[in-house]
A and B are shown apart, each in its own frame.
Chain A
């Protein structure tokens, strides 16, 4: 199908883009990688009157790490930039594991992490990764900037917390207080598919104890799920087979999957459980190797 008619704007600055959004009064949409917006428009699930293409705004494609380890991901940083980043491979295992399993190489070349968060697809991989990491989205609107925790950023399926005239400028992963570890596992039916279920685990450890943990679940609920009870159960103790199994059970309980053509609800819970165990067992191994 063809999209409905729309106006196309290509601002050269953030301020200009915000002005256009404001002028659009809720009928304008930002175009980043277009890997979700364009398909939605073609299927006529979305019919914005105006497209505000931010690809010509300079300086938004960054991926940087501060001295303290804080990671900044600009609004035009693509999935493929993250996939190829040696920085993430060295310092942020959860993100490094997620980047290569998103969609396919063609989609990864265009799609952005920030766009993915904004899209708030319950099957989007980055939302659960950012939740697990305790990430933050920085939004800018006519009244300036504000920070929104990734855990609060998603309001529901395909709904985020941005006002109609706000742009998400960047995503931030806060500096770790311990040694960061974790992973992302995604069950897809074939390459390029959305997740049947996915699990993001991010932990920080110090002297063999877990001092921070986050677990995000992809594709097993109406929106991305923050499995806080499962994550909290790990904090303050070393990782053991018992604590891992317990956390896995809690994560499976936190999932709210539906039976569909990707699998039954109980199968999806089983994946969540298995993935939590596999990621955390991998963490144990890598902690032992480091020690």
Chain B
């Protein structure tokens, strides 16, 4: 793992490795996660889920469950007072299934009882009569008109084409491939948990919840509860990771309904197994891609067909699809394109947001293709990527101009310059071998391989969505108090926000007000957007307060406020000698300002997939070195070298944390993480069988952060959360290909794909 040089500057301003304010508590176990909440007089809520991927509900009998002592409520679809369905883009997902269950694990009923054990017994006592139906699980079949449509909205969630330049043109050289991406889980460690408090009189509810987006949740919950939004207050509970899985509603509506139904606080908390059924996953995808190029390896045209399996409900499938197809070209110049994309409904688990959001899938395909192209042209993986590297000002296949800083070439060159790891020593510890702990790899059978991956990722929301962020800054007696609804899910906004306030206002003490819906929306903690968006909002609010401070000081001391500035912790007169500490200057006064940060407008894609649909982009290169035991199919990722376009480093420690964490998650998709499906059934809903990388699997990461400040970004910093996990996956697979000579067109690469 990397080490970050300790900063010598004393104040925790922007650019320093300020430590997380919640770090010690999290390490010591004293941090309160949403699952730690407790209340006097509370009841436990629990969910009854469908054991079938697809079935008609004939009847639900709750009589026996209600008779169990300790059970306070059993609710089903009939008990939803408002809208029966919810959803991020299209409200097509029932709060409780009533007519059909469309995926294994779909909620059918919920109960409130005095003890988790009572809940378990009561759930077992609910009798649901199902007529089991044959599930539709193949998206290719599902999209046919002749196939049974499993939802009133049909099986095709969205179809979008991109036609750019000359669709007929071809090149001297063509390479093509079919690629498959398995279903990855976000696998956050803090399970879904919430606590709902009913208002007395039952006209409102307060929900403490681990979520990515308080306001979006509130809108969906209020509609289902049939309450005005103001009567539904959301407070951010301690979030133990999210990675996209907390964008959709899981237990929010159930928990509030039970609280309103019983008039008592309700605690709900999923188990690990339930969590696998309770949230959306990364879309499995099938991608065909064909590149046309000149003899010299310059891309002439890209063609692709992408099919994303959205599972039973829409979630964010339409947006994931758009991200996938608009990133077909990767970080490469490409004038001509024909892309056809489908997001399809099946009886598999619903899929939605996960770190990388559609680009992960596209990137595995285009990077596999780049290696094929290199081979066909007799170029190295680095050469082919340099020849085609995109630059600022290039036109994308959507017709949009690349306005972001685009240091693709630099990412590649600087990654390439990172020294290679030492060869595996003759006396290496077995734990360094592929398969590590199993001690089964054989030194003689270990082969090393090197592979490359480079990617481009859009930042913020796309297609006309105004995902603004709001923040309020209040300065009084030398203390800045920040209020925002931004979800801290582990990414470190609670570290960054005070750094911003200290830099702008010259204060040292920064406190937070509760993150809740008592202020405007901050948008979602996703799409690599909070540093840019909520960071921009905090920066904007602090700057407004600073103006007020200068006005106040100017008036008091008879100086034109325009001459004032902050130096360290003082307000100074840039022309004269006047100096007063911010603490002193704010004694007895309160300056408070709220700021909304909006990004520039974007637009929808037209029928040919043309339009300025994205806000901005970030780039990264990865080089992977792997050791493979070829006979057993075991892989050890030895080193990941990476250079990432970050705009500006605001906190080196946080940045390296994102890079290393993203790499671990991308490694997971490359060689181990997959929800294994069998005809609509999840086969491995546990951390015993859903394999996550552990410390033993983590490679050494050598990271370079490329700082070319982004003019569009309020702090010059690009989002850095998603890029690390995107091209590391194809880089690792390319390295395994290099070691084994196998074609490997699917992730995760399973041992059997290597050794059989």
Contact = CB atoms under 8 A, between A and B. Distances in A.
A263 B751 contact: yes
Nearest to A189: B691
Contact of B437 (A191, A260, A264): A191
Contacts of A190: 437, 691, 694, 696
Contact of B442 (A1, A264, A278): A278
A267 B755 contact: yes
A263 B435 contact: no
Interface string B114-153: 0001001000000000000000000000000000000000
A188 B434 CA distance: 12
Interface stretch (A18-26, A171-179, A269-277): A269-277
A187 B440 contact: yes
A50 to B, nearest CB: 23
Interface stretch (B6-14, B500-508, B635-643, B681-689): B681-689
Which of B438, B631, B633 has the most chain A CB atoms closer than 10 A to its own CB?
A: B438
Nearest to B435: A187
Contacts of A101: 438-439
Contacts of A260: 683
Contacts of A274: 631-632, 755
Nearest to A281: B442
B633 A261 contact: no
B676 interface: yes
Interface in A231-270: 260-261, 263-264, 266-267, 270
Given A188-B437, A261-B683, A263-B750, A193 B688 contact: yes
A188 B442 CA distance: 15
Interface residues of A, number: 23
B111 to A, nearest CB: 17
A278 B756 CA distance: 17
Interface string A166-199: 0000000000000000000111111101000000
A11 B752 CA distance: 49
Interface string B717-748: 00000000000000000000000000000000
A267 B439 contact: no
A12 B684 CA distance: 43
Interface string A98-133: 001100000000000000000000000000000000
Question: In the complex, which range does the number of interface residues on chain B fall in?
Answer: 20 to 34
Contacts of B683: 260-261
A187 B439 CA distance: 8
Interface of B is mostly: loop
B442 A267 contact: no
Contacts of B437: 188, 190-191
Interface in A143-163: none
A39 to B, nearest CB: 12
Interface in A66-125: 100-101
Q: Which one of B633, B676, B696, B752 has the highest number of Cβ atoms from chain A below 10 Å of its Cβ?
A: B752
B689 A261 contact: yes
Given A186-B440, A187-B435, A191-B437, A261 B756 contact: no
Nearest to A274: B631
Nearest to A1: B120
Nearest to A271: B632
B438 A188 contact: yes
Given A1-B120, A266-B752, A267-B756, A261 B676 contact: yes
Contacts of A266: 752, 756
Contacts of B688: 193
A187 B632 contact: yes
B107 to A, nearest CB: 21
A267 B435 contact: no
Nearest to B629: A274
Most buried by A among B439, B676, B750: B439
A197 B694 CA distance: 21
Contacts of B684: 261
A100 B439 CA distance: 10
A188 B632 CA distance: 11
Given A261-B683, A261-B689, A185 B440 contact: yes
Given A186-B440, A190-B694, A263 B752 contact: yes
B180 to A, nearest CB: 16
A193 B696 CA distance: 14
B430 to A, nearest CB: 11
A193 B687 CA distance: 11
A274 B437 CA distance: 18
A267 B440 CA distance: 15
B547 to A, nearest CB: 56
Interface string A187-225: 111110100000000000000000000000000000000
Contacts of A188: 437-438
B752 A267 contact: yes
Interface in B670-692: 672, 676, 683-684, 688-689, 691
A275 B696 CA distance: 23
A190 B676 CA distance: 18
A84 B264 CA distance: 56
Given A189-B691, A270-B752, A274-B755, 13 more contacts: A101-B439, A187-B435, A187-B440, A190-B691, A261-B684, A263-B750, A267-B633, A267-B750, A270-B631, A270-B633, A270-B755, A274-B631, A278-B442
21 contacts: A2-B117, A101-B439, A187-B440, A187-B634, A188-B437, A190-B691, A190-B694, A191-B696, A260-B683, A261-B683, A263-B751, A266-B752, A267-B751, A267-B752, A267-B756, A270-B631, A270-B752, A270-B755, A274-B631, A274-B632, A274-B755
Q: 9 shortest A-B CB distances, which residue pairs?
A: A267-B752, A191-B437, A274-B631, A261-B684, A188-B438, A261-B676, A264-B752, A261-B683, A185-B440
